[in-house]
Amino acid sequence: MWKSAFVALLVLASGAFSACSQDPGSGPGGEGSPSAGDGTVGALTIGTTAPNDAFTVFSESGAFGRMNYNAFVAAPFWTMDGEGKVKPFLVREWEIDPSSREITARVAVGQGISWHDGRPFTLEDVLFTFDYLMTRTRKSYVADLERVERLSGDSVKIVLKKPGAYQWIQLAAGYLTVLPRHVWENVEEPLKFSAPSAAIGCGPYRLVSVDRDADISVYEAVSESYLGRRLTVRKVILRTYASQDTLVMALKRGLADAMYDYSNALEATLAPGLQGVEGLDPGMSLNTGNFQIVYGFRSRPTSDLAFRKAATLALDYELLRVTIGGGYGLIPGIGVIAPPNIGFDPDLPRLGRDLAEAARALDEAGYRDLDGDGLREGPDGEPLEVSVLPQYNRVKSAVYLRLCEIVVRNLKDIGIRAALDGKGASNPDHNAALRKSGSYQIFLGYTSPGMARQTSAYYYFVDSSVTGQWGTCADPEFMRAYAERKEAADEGTYVALTGELQRINSRLYVAAPLCWNMAFFPYRTDRYEGWENYPGWGPVNAGTWYALRGK
């Protein structure tokens, strides 16, 4: 009796010991082998720094919301490939009419897609989604829509207020997802709705569990295939790490398989630590997004062309390149748009520091040092102090503060007194208020890879009356070019007008990129193959679920 009990205890103890000493690569919670043996991926662990705290298909924030940009739990109408080309998803076919105001879309109803609570996905859900978003939200995706109407059992017509169908689809692709009518139709305040049913989508993966203490959420494939494509990743574990440093350590140790952090690619300063690690690819790609300096047109002196030109010429782009991009960045061109994006113009000149030319521009415009203190006064003789506001970003705060320090110092080199807006840098509410009111003078911001691919950085430069963002440039020529581009009916027109915007910027100095940097989204190659590293986006994307294979 005692002997049996002792043996049983020993077995239990050894089991406990083996559980404690399991291969770290087997994933959190001991899900077993990440590869299912038939080439599929049993459990893919994705590391992020976004919090695992909100699980609603309505929201785009948090780890869950951001993962849905990859056609994950919530299903988008369109997605984008690695080159920024729009690809079908729930909308299987579409046609833009010659006026560029109407889109006829055939939707994948009756093709085996169902909501994650078992109800079928119907055209009613599509119509409901547009109606719901247009009447109860201010999402930018629907701001330009006039109406959406049923054409047949599987087709709808999307009518825009003004021409601009091509640009609208670019904006919606990957971001605009369908909502289940039966869940949301009685929800009056969607942003406050957080019931478990809020996480119901009709994408290829469903949420199965959340461990809030461990900051982990787990998802599983809804079926063998989705929209005719085999889902090779059977299970996804989304794990939040406190910082990018800890995420890198987890990747190195095999505790995570890939990094996904939407626009927050790994800081270039962390990249050297990824080189030469066996089984780990640094996931380097030329970033589609970029850091930029944006001038405020609603206050002096940044509303003055001469000042903007001088400030742009005063910046030390080599130092900015190293600070933002480590040893991997490129000195950018005045056109702002980075090389991987649609509309990139290689013929526009690269930026360079020219203190003499900057000083000449200021002298000619009347910015002179009148009191001999080494700092210039304004043309009216009044003291000049320029405020530099960095974008508020928890992950990128250190690099933003460094960029501010460089800009302040560089401006001092041409006799301009500038200072960091400390309150704006530390207080997100104050920062948002300054941005939204357009009352900043110099704003250091970032165009995320997604927005760069969809609408380009110019979305953040043009006056906020057009976009609802924080741009302040209302120059008539700039506004006209932007409006015409928005109405482009095809890619060729869009590219031509994007080129025009860039040429205007080279004359008006509305904004300037600070660096064209590389994006790093590391991933492990020792257990899987078939990764496709989208430029600026990384290896976790809308194609991952169908392409990844276990080794």
Partner 1 sequence: MTGKLGLRPRIGAAILLALLLAAVFAPLVSPLDPYEFGIPYLEPSAAHLLGTNDVGQDILSELVYGARVSLIIGVTAAFAVTAAGAAVGLTSGYWGGKADVALMGLTNVFMSLPALPLTVVLVAYLGPGLRNVILAICLTAWTGTARVVRSRVLQLKELPFVKIEKTLGAGPLYVMFRHLLPNIGELVFVRGVLAVASAMLAEAGLSFLGLGTAGAKSWGSILHYAFFRGGLVNGCYWWYLPPMICISLSVTGFLLLSYVGERRGPAAPAAGAAKGRRADA
Q: Please give the residue ranges that form the binding site for partner 1 (CB under 8 A).
A: 245, 248, 267, 269-270, 272-273, 316, 319, 322-323, 397-399, 401-402, 404-406, 408-409, 419-420, 422-427, 430
Q: How far is the CB of 362 from partner 1 (least distance, A)?
A: 22
**Cβ distance to partner 1 smaller for residue 342 or 425:** 425
> Quick one: how far is CA 48 from the chain centroid?
13
Compare residues 230 and 430 and give the one whose CB is closer to partner 1: 430
Taking the least distance from each CB to partner 1, the nearer of 90 and 404 is: 404
CB of 273 to partner 1, least distance (A): 5
Q: Could you tell me the smallest distance in angstroms from the CB atom of residue 402 to partner 1?
A: 6
Considering beta carbons, is residue 300 or 412 the nearer one to partner 1? 412
- The nearest distance, CB 375 to partner 1, in angstroms, is 15
Judged by CB, which is closer to partner 1: 149, or 318?
A: 318
CA distance 204 to 61: 20
DSSP 163-220: S-HHHHHHHHTTT-B---HHHHTT-S-GGG--SGGGG---SSEEEEEEETTTTEEEEE
Gap between the Cα atoms of 165 and 321, Å rounded: 36
| Nearest to partner 1 of 172, 408 (CB atom) | 408
333 bridge partner residues: 350
**In the complex, least distance from residue 128 CB atom to partner 1, rounded to whole angstroms:** 41
Tell me how far, at minimum, the Cβ of 20 lies from partner 1, in Å.
28
According to DSSP, residue 245 is labeled: H
Select 355 or 401, whichever has its Cβ closest to partner 1. Answer: 401
Nearest residue to 266 via CA among 538, 27, 451: 538
Q: Which two tokens stand for residue 408?
A: 């302040």
> What SS3 class is residue 475?
coil
Please give the single-letter amino acid code of residue 148: V
Q: DSSP character for 527?
A: S
CB-nearer residue toward partner 1: 36 or 331: 331
What CA–CA distance (Å, rounded) separates 254 from 527?
A: 10
Minimum distance between the CB of residue 358 and partner 1, rounded to whole angstroms?
17
CB of 423 to partner 1, least distance (A): 3
Q: Which helix (H) or strand (E) is 122 found in, with range?
A: none
**CA 118/CA 447 separation, integer angstroms:** 39
- Which of 396, 366, 174 shows the shortest CA–CA distance to 268? 396
319 or 474: CB nearest partner 1: 319
Backbone Cα Rg of the chain: 26
How far apart (Å, rounded) are the C-alpha atoms in residues 329 and 403? 15
- Say if residues 289 and 338 touch (Cβ distance below 8 Å): yes
> CB of residue 271 vs partner 1: minimum separation in angstroms?
8
